[in-house]
Structure 1
Amino acid sequence: MLHAVQPGDGGVARVVTDLVRAQLAAGLRVAVACPPDTELAAAVRAEGADTYAWRAGRDPGPGTVRETRELGRLIRTARPALVHAHSAKAGLCARLALRGRVPTVYQPHAWSFEAIEGTTAALARRWERWAARWTARIVCVSEAERRTGETAGVVAPWSVIHNGVDAERFAPAEDEAPDGPAGPLVVCVGRLCRQKGQDVLLAAWPAVLAAVPDARLVLVGDGPDGERLRAAAGPSVRFVGAVTDTAPWYREADLVVLPSRWEGMALAPLEAMASGRPVVVGDVDGARESLPPGHEELCLVPPGDPAALAAALGRLLGEPGLRRSLGREAREHVLSRFDVRRTGAAVAELYRELAGVRCTEHREPIAQ
């Protein structure tokens, strides 16, 4: 098995790391081609996977030809039975390099044409329609992401496999205290970029403070918009940069927010809910599928709407009892539907179907 991955950080890196861990435990030989010196490269190497340094940037450009040739060389070296390409850049290079000669799974992790406009978006949609002929299966992380692809004219065999999280790693603290005197804490975990909508959150924050004057906001992550966002933030907003472990920040939070403009199914809200925290999220692909039934009215906001975001945050910050109730329901929902083991098993079954890849049978221990 070879995973071709770009980017090597953020939610994609966490998804791939979880898959690699499960596949190694199931007896597969797993290799990962990704940018060196990244979060992903270090994580999968620590898990015991073969790693190949694929020096690829995030965006297409003049270097794409070189990147495609380099990935083709790495694939010939690894000689995999199946290639799983993650996100648009890897999907572009892997399918150009292979052209269907090896079964190729493509997982967009949100469609690239949603991030751009005009002629560039039209070209991206045209490419996705064309490249489907070299794709044994497109894996979407939500039914909404699949529908977005179909609406764009992508005709291919589809599988919908929801993202999953390690519910034990993100478990709430056993001795959680009630709200303290410092004021409620809102946490946003995500790359500092237009997709994740932190600019919308900062535009909404003055209205949140008008309703809840002692509220505090922490932004966890780094990215290309970091400098601009820091310049726009007030004294009640703290930037902590990228962290190796987000779980402590979810446990510190009273409320988690991710006002994305587009997604496939964002991982951070699932991690927050596994931690027993209510979330407020942009109503984009995967958001409705990830929330517990009945949470939509309180927890979904139109993307790019600071007023609606401020209203949702203000209401939940003003009702601690409601927040705790929503958090308990969120935790149970993740345990029942979004456990990472369920995701790994579904992907393993897909590999068996496409390439006859056999895994050692894995059974959960029987409760005594």
Structure 2
Amino acid sequence: MRIALIITELNPGGAERCLTELAIGLTESGDDVRVYSIGSRPDPQKCILIDRLAKHRVPIEYGGADSTFQVFKAQRSLRKSLHSFHPALAQTFLYHANVVGTWAARAAGVAVRVGGIRVAEARPLRCRLERFAVKQMQQIVCVSEDVRRFAASQLAADQGRLSVIPNAVDTTRFSTTAPANWRDHGWPEDSIVTLFVGRMHAQKGLETIRQQIDRLAPAGSNRRVLLIGEGPLENEMDAWIRSVGADRIQRLGWTTDVAPFIKASRLLLLPSHYEGMPNVVMEAMASGRPVVCSSVEGTRELLAHAPDGQCFDPGDSGAMANAVERFLNDRNLSEQIGFQNQTRMRNDFAIPTMIDRYRSLYRSLTGEGAIRSVSG
């Protein structure tokens, strides 16, 4: 089957990693897959997913649309590419790809158009535009039950056209990676670190970390906080970090591999105000680490096996600090919950399982019927 996978951009991220693994899995099973990025090729240091796709001989095309003013040009270019490739099905990922990619696929005569909703972001204008795209989709894949409910209520999607296929994670890689050495970052080797990985953006609830820094990393203790990520708030966060001191908290920019940092940390902290199904939580769970997350879309489902002590109400920084301190104070508890998390990932969120679910959906939508499972 010819399949077009369309995404906003290919900078490393949760949706982008999902697309990469899906494209590779489908290609290895005999499908003819092409990847289309509406944006430009990422900077060279951020091409790890592109290199992985190239290694598996998955073709990629770039629309070069890095601003709103270039969207219509990218849509025309994508329409021509899709018309030439003539896929049986086009799957879009993320908001901009859902809007631009769906209309381009429709104009190119692609019979089956599948959307991908990956975050429950209830911005009125954004939802209004995405509703128009949803009407042109035969099916919409949501990454969690919470996102499915969001799509039904906020995007007016018919329940019968909504499917839930969670993200997946490479459990072997995250469970076997070697931990980072804190000495390389100016901290004692025995530092007990709370790790945050994500965008420096208001969505991520960074204000709660600022409010509770004296409990997360008390002055004079061996407890530290490491932030990894970039974004619009990075300058503001860096100024605050300087006022607190690098002996207590640091920020790293984008890094090619967060696995060693997760492995070296006591726990992952993600106090987001909204999500879809955060990959970094899955990666921490696969690493055998406990997590402390706000109880938002996706996290409730990931942590359904052990929500007590790992979830707190969004914005409640006191409850967040209580949960973090519980793991900082008790290493045995951290290891026990981390093992439960790792088992959950291995059993329910393996990459072959995710690929099988997509392939089964695609076959049912195109009428090609069942085909051999990639995990079987």
TM-score of the two chains, using structure 2 as the length reference? 0.86
Which one-letter code corresponds to 1:318 in the other structure?
A: N
SS at match of 1:155: coil
Offset of residue 28 of structure 1:
1.0
Asked if the contact 1:292/1:330 (under 8 Å) is kept, the reply is no
Alignment partner, residue 126 of structure 1: 128
Cα deviations across residues 138-164 of structure 1 (Å, max 9, x unaligned)?
100100111112122522301001111
Asked if the contact 2:360/2:370 (under 8 Å) is kept, the reply is no
CA distance in 2, matches of 1:168, 1:325: 19
Most deviating of 100-109 and 142-151: 100-109
Alignment partner, residue 64 of structure 1: 71
Offset of residue 75 of structure 1:
1.6
Alignment partner, residue 88 of structure 2: 81
Which one-letter code corresponds to 2:101 in the other structure?
A: A
Asked if the contact 1:170/1:271 (under 8 Å) is kept, the reply is yes
Cα deviations across residues 200-234 of structure 1 (Å, max 9, x unaligned)?
32332223234993211112222232222211223
Offset of residue 20 of structure 1:
1.2
Offset of residue 76 of structure 1:
2.0
Alignment partner, residue 185 of structure 2: none
Q: Unaligned regions of 5+ residues in structure 2, if any?
A: 182-187
Alignment partner, residue 48 of structure 1: 57
Alignment partner, residue 228 of structure 1: 236
TM-score of the two chains, using structure 1 as the length reference? 0.88
CA 1:284–1:48: 2 relative to 1, 3 Å: same
Most deviating of 138-147 and 356-365: 356-365
Given candidates 128, 136, 139, the residue that maps to 2:138 is 136
Alignment partner, residue 105 of structure 1: 114
CA distance in 1, matches of 2:80, 2:220: 57
Pairing 1:278-293 to 2, within 5 Å after superposition: 278-293=290-305
Residue 301 of structure 1 pairs with residue 291 of structure 2: no
SS at match of 2:135: helix
Offset of residue 26 of structure 1:
0.9
CA distance in 2, matches of 1:8, 1:227: 24
CA 1:358–1:18: 2 relative to 1, 3 Å: farther
Alignment RMSD? 2.5
CA distance in 2, matches of 1:188, 1:63: 34
Offset of residue 263 of structure 1:
1.1
Alignment partner, residue 25 of structure 2: 22
Offset of residue 345 of structure 1:
0.4
CA distance in 1, matches of 2:81, 2:163: 27
Given candidates 248, 256, 259, the residue that maps to 1:244 is 256
Alignment partner, residue 117 of structure 1: none
Which one-letter code corresponds to 1:92 in the other structure?
A: V
Percent identity at matched positions?
Answer: 27
Q: Unaligned regions of 5+ residues in structure 1, if any?
A: 115-120
Which one-letter code corresponds to 1:192 in the other structure?
A: M
Residue 33 of structure 1 pairs with residue 36 of structure 2: yes
Given candidates 161, 165, 169, the residue that maps to 1:161 is 165
CA 1:208–1:246: 2 relative to 1, 3 Å: closer
Aligned pair count reads: 353
